[in-house]
């Protein structure tokens, strides 16, 4: 059971999450999407539930990876001995590349330039880690335009 307590003057409120139910729901979802695997987003401290506790609860489901927003969130999970793959969804600045490599965090990149920068750093460090390329499929928020992808050689 995960219990997240938030206290404010004059209030005492909490949220309880049944980790068994969380695992059962994740397994049901996994069956629906299989053979693909789920990637639970546990950014923002698992939306206040505790990223480490949620990762521990969902680890037995064998997710593809856990998703976080920042390198710092990924580092915190590694410091808590979370060993599953971790994908960092926010773009990482150039000076975060060494940290991504050191903590085995997989970046989402928005362009070929970013992908090449990460690849060069990884090669220099003699490591090989996945890089996830974001493709803009129509929302216009971020990523490579979908129509450009077929021109990549």
- The string of pLDDT tens digits covering residues 140-151 is 778 888 888 777
Q: Is 46 contained in some domain?
A: yes
Mean pLDDT for all residues in the chain: 87
Q: Is 32 contained in some domain?
A: no
Q: Is 95 contained in some domain?
A: yes
Lowest mean pLDDT among 29-43, 67-81, 82-96: 82-96
Q: Is 25 contained in some domain?
A: no
Domain count, the chain: 1
Q: Is 21 contained in some domain?
A: no
For position 88, what pLDDT does the model report? 96
Q: Specify the higher pLDDT residue, 82 or 13.
A: 82
- Average confidence (pLDDT) over 2-8: 56
Q: Is 101 contained in some domain?
A: yes
Q: Is the peptide bond before 35 cis (omega within 30 degrees of 0)?
A: yes
Per-residue pLDDT for 7 more than 60?
Answer: no
Q: Is 144 contained in some domain?
A: yes
Per-residue pLDDT for 38 more than 90?
Answer: yes
- Average confidence (pLDDT) over 16-41: 94
The DSSP H or E segment spanning 2 is strand 2-8
Per-residue pLDDT for 134 more than 70?
Answer: yes
The CATH number covering residue 133 comes to: 3.20.20.10
Q: Under DSSP, is residue 108 helix (H, G, I), strand (E, B) or coil?
A: strand
The residue segments making up the domain with residue 127 are 39-151
What are the two backbone dihedrals, phi and then psi, of residue 137, each rounded to the nearest 5 degrees?
-95, 10
Is residue 29 within 8 A of residue 38, CB to CB? The reply is: yes
- Average confidence (pLDDT) over 96-112: 88
- Average confidence (pLDDT) over 130-140: 84
For position 1, what pLDDT does the model report? 66
Q: Is 97 contained in some domain?
A: yes
CA distances from 81 to 36, 77, 84 (A): 25, 6, 9
For position 2, what pLDDT does the model report? 64
């Amino acid at each position: 059971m995960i219990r997240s307590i938030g206290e404010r003057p004059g209030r005492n409120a909490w949220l309880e999450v049944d980790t068994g139910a969380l695992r059962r729901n994740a397994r049901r979802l996994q069956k629906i999407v299989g053979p693909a695997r789920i990637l639970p987003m546990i950014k923002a401290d698992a939306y206040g539930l505790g990223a480490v506790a949620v990762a521990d609860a969902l680890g037995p489901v064998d997710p593809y990876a856990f998703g976080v927003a920042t390198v710092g969130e990924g580092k915190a999970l590694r410091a808590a001995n979370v060993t599953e793959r971790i994908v960092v969804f926010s773009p990482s600045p150039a000076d975060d590349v060494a940290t991504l490599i050191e903590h085995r965090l997989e970046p989402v990149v928005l362009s070929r330039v970013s992908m090449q920068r990460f690849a060069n750093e990884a090669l220099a460090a003699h490591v090989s880690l996945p890089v996830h390329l974001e493709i803009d499929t129509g929302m216009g928020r971020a990523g490579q335009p979908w129509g450009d992808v077929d021109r990549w050689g």
